[in-house]
Chains A and B, each alone.
Chain A
Amino acid sequence: MLQTKKTAVPAAPAAVGGGEDRREAVVSMYQAQRKIYARAVSGWFAGWRWAFVWATQLIFYGLPWLEWNARQAVLFDLGARRFYIFGLVLYPQDFIYLTGLLIVAAYSLFLFTAVAGRLWCGFACPQTVYTEIFMWVERKLEGDRAQRMRLDASPWGANKLLRKGGKQLAWIAIGLWTGFTFVGYFTPIRSLAVSASTLGFGPWEWFWICFYGFATYGNAGWMREQVCKYMCPYARFQSAMFDKDTLIITYDDERGEPRGSRSRKADPKAARLGDCVDCGLCVQVCPTGIDIRKGLQYECIGCAACIDVCNGIMERMEYPKGLIRYDTQNGMAQHLNRSQLLRRALRPRVLVYASVLVLILVALGTSLALRSPFKVDVVRDRGALARLVEDGWIENVYRLQLMNTTEQLQRYRIRAAGLPGLQTDLGDTVVAVDPAATRWVPLAARVPPEAAATAGRGSHAIEFTVERIEDSAADAPRTVVERSTFVVPR
């Protein structure tokens, strides 16, 4: 039987006191979530966060409504396997661009993190951004920290029901709107809006609107810092990008300690006090509920709310700002000034991250700029390798897949080369492919008997040149060359 005696688990690890204390205790291996009542904060960094909230959310909610060439500007049509991004029409074959984008995202994360810690987490991560929006709603309906705590402690009544219910309704509405917008990237959002008026969504539309909506509501409303602490993999591996020259949000121990409250008039030196007035506001504003004065902790998402609030207090106390500030571990230890910090930011790892990032960006941009307006795949017929036709000519059959990656009708001429006398049954026939469409063109290539005899039995390299016919003579003709083989039978 388990002992029923239960000891409280300290919220933070106590100093290791050694193994002398051998008293037995039963503890829970699971911790109840402690509700965090983050206090509202304003200031320079809070302003930046709101700027990012506006920028990311204007793009996210607004982008699907933009029109381009009489279609949705950004639409990922999974059914037709076409991905429209403004003027671009991407095929599944263009997956490499997504890979490039992900590498850019990864290296940007590495770079920002190496320079200034968890900037992404604190300012641009959807978890942070939606939590910010949800907390704003919460604040509007339930008030700030103290009021929320009072409301939670108070018995249920009409006021509490109205405020709490209103908050939930607003949260659910935001969640559903987010889910709707998300689906709008895959189903044309205007037709989705029409179905919304009658709730006539398809089953998968229903699923994704509700699923994505629920995830937004659950993560930003209820899970909040739990996501960062227990679910997010990036939060864990970002510490690998940290070093002693990484800017982190840090409390100036030397200047702040010993902390203690005092009157605004009192001279701290005389009272043998540091600059920290121990108001506890840095703990109250922290969205993950930590005390930054304990130093760098894995829970810190780098939101800089404690900097904003502490600077406000320092201002009121007429002390210099920056008791809590962006600084590096080396900077704190060696009392480096701003320009020294900046110089140390340009260390090898930062330069490597930056140059790889620039390289990938340039490669991605160049590749997109030089992208061919059409693609060709050549598929040899597998049933019969070759055949003998009239007058002893040897014929091979191919299927050419022509992929038009623009939104204009394109016309092509197809030629084969590589063996003397090689010709195709298409001759000068012009093949047209509709905008953003794919067309299979079967074609037979043949060589005269003498050429086949000279080339010998076996497979020979040939190539197909597909030339786009330009409407005006001014346009340079675009061609795609695809290699294949021509088989002369034994």
Chain B
Amino acid sequence: MSDFVHSGWGLFVAITTVLSLVFCLALLIVASRRKVMATDNTTGHVWDEDLREMNNPLPRWWMWLFVITVVFAAVYLAFYPGLGSFAGMLKWTSVGQYEAEQDRARAAMQPVYAKYVAMSAEQLAQEPAAMGIGQRLFLNNCAQCHGSDGRGSLGFPNLADQDWLGAGTHDYAKSVITEGRVGVMPPMAAAVGTSEDVRNVANYVLSLSGSAHNSVAAQLGKGKFGVCAACHGADGKGNAQLGAPNLTDKVWLHGWGEQAIVNIVTQGKTNAMPAQGRLLTPEQVHVLGAYVLSLSKPTRIAGN
């Protein structure tokens, strides 16, 4: 398009369009009558010795259909953009239509959400219709990373368990959805000590949750856990204020087993949840947050 920025092109397109319309009409009129060479209702054309072309006229109303298409084009060009840079009398644009449809959709959704905004997460969980909306929002916006069942995957938190990196309240869920969240675990290998020490700490961490571990190494690692305790707490139960995970449960967001823990301690981890505030309205976030909280309730697939 960049080659056609000169205003003369608009004029060129407009003139070509109008001339084409006039030409179509003129052609129709000129071609509607025809000189024939014979009076026997043939056009006088003969091929292959005896093959004649009959004049088999179309009904006249058919010609009016052609005229109607030309009239339609003229009316269309008056109302909609098409004649070069002329915007048309309706000032229609695709962006304008998109925005108008968005506004209409928002207005249509307004009464649906108005009722829900005033309700708490617990009340919303009792509303099948609200949970249906929440599920659809979740499947469209969240399931790509957190999975259709909300149980996440490696690096993507499980939303359906009782383990929260933050407060685990409705407000917390809403703020994470709206603003996103960045979780940072710094590389701690230097502070822990040698690579042997790191391995020992990893075994100690495994022992905290009662997972399979080397108990000798765990005993040795216990002493080195002090540097970890600053965030994860002396008992390893984490700190929701800091977003430090609980190490005593069987939730392994970044992988399970000695090697996975060694990797995290050595390399650290920065994990980001992107902000969804631009994609969802506050009312949608309210309902979606309640749906996410409801995932950790055991009776989510309630049969009748």
- Give me the interface of A with B, judged by CB distance under 8 Å: 2-3, 7, 9-10, 13-17, 19, 21-33, 223, 226, 229-230, 381-384, 387-392, 395, 397-399, 409, 411, 425-426, 429-432, 440-444
Contacts and interface: CB of A to CB of B under 8 A. Distances in A.
Contact of A30 (B40, B54, B63, B256): B63
A150 B32 CA distance: 32
B59 A14 contact: no
A431 B303 contact: yes
A437 to B, nearest CB: 11
Contacts of A14: 40-41
B232 to A, nearest CB: 19
B58 A230 contact: yes
B151 A388 contact: no
Nearest to A230: B59
A395 B36 contact: no
B115 interface: no
Contacts of B256: 388, 390, 392
B147 A381 contact: yes
Contacts of A391: 250
A28 B153 contact: no
Given A384-B154, A387-B153, A425-B149, A24 B144 contact: no
Contact of B34 (A19, A29, A443): A29
A193 to B, nearest CB: 26
Contacts of B144: 382-383
Contacts of B250: 390-391
A26 B36 CA distance: 6
Interface string B41-64: 110101000001011011111110
Nearest to B255: A388
B148 A381 contact: yes
Contacts of A32: 59-60
Contacts of B148: 381, 397-399, 440, 442
Contacts of A432: 303-304
Nearest to B44: A19
A15 B54 CA distance: 12
Contact of A411 (B40, B62, B303): B303
Contacts of B303: 411, 429-432
B282 interface: no
A443 B149 contact: yes
Contact of A31 (B34, B59, B301): B59
Nearest to B43: A27
A116 B3 CA distance: 65
B41 A10 contact: yes
A33 B54 contact: no
Given A29-B33, A443-B149, 20 more contacts: A13-B41, A22-B44, A26-B34, A30-B32, A30-B60, A32-B60, A229-B59, A230-B58, A381-B148, A383-B145, A387-B154, A390-B250, A390-B252, A391-B250, A397-B147, A425-B149, A431-B301, A440-B148, A442-B148, A444-B149
B37 interface: yes
A31 B147 contact: no
Nearest to B66: A30
13 contacts: A9-B41, A10-B41, A14-B41, A22-B38, A22-B44, A31-B58, A32-B60, A388-B255, A389-B151, A390-B250, A399-B148, A425-B149, A444-B147
Nearest to A9: B41
Given A409-B304, A431-B303, A24 B153 contact: no
Given A388-B256, A426-B301, A429-B303, A444 B151 contact: yes
Nearest to B138: A442
A387 B39 contact: no
Interface in B64-105: none
Contacts of B41: 9-10, 13-14
A107 B39 CA distance: 44
A15 B55 CA distance: 14
B156 interface: yes
A34 to B, nearest CB: 10
The 10 residue pairs across chains A and B that have the minimum distance between CB atoms: A384-B153, A430-B303, A442-B148, A442-B149, A31-B57, A387-B153, A432-B304, A30-B60, A390-B250, A383-B144
Contacts of A425: 149
Contacts of B304: 409, 411, 432
Contacts of A3: 35
A426 B36 CA distance: 82
B59 A383 contact: no
Nearest to A382: B144
B143 interface: yes
A399 B252 CA distance: 24
Most chain B CB inside 10 Å of its own CB: which residue of A9, A27, A30, A230: A30
Given A22-B37, A387-B152, A432-B303, A29 B147 contact: no
Contacts of B143: 381, 383, 442
B135 interface: yes
B246 to A, nearest CB: 14
Contacts of A22: 37-38, 44
A31 B60 contact: yes
A25 B39 contact: yes
Contact of B35 (A13, A24, A33, A441): A24
A27 B147 contact: no
Given A383-B153, A392-B256, A441-B301, A7 B147 contact: no
A20 to B, nearest CB: 9
A88 B208 CA distance: 59
A426 B63 CA distance: 67
B280 to A, nearest CB: 18
A407 to B, nearest CB: 16
Contacts of A431: 301, 303
B145 A29 contact: no
Contacts of B146: 383
A13 B151 contact: no
Interface in B128-165: 135, 139, 143-154, 156
A383 B139 CA distance: 11
Contacts of A388: 154, 252, 255-256
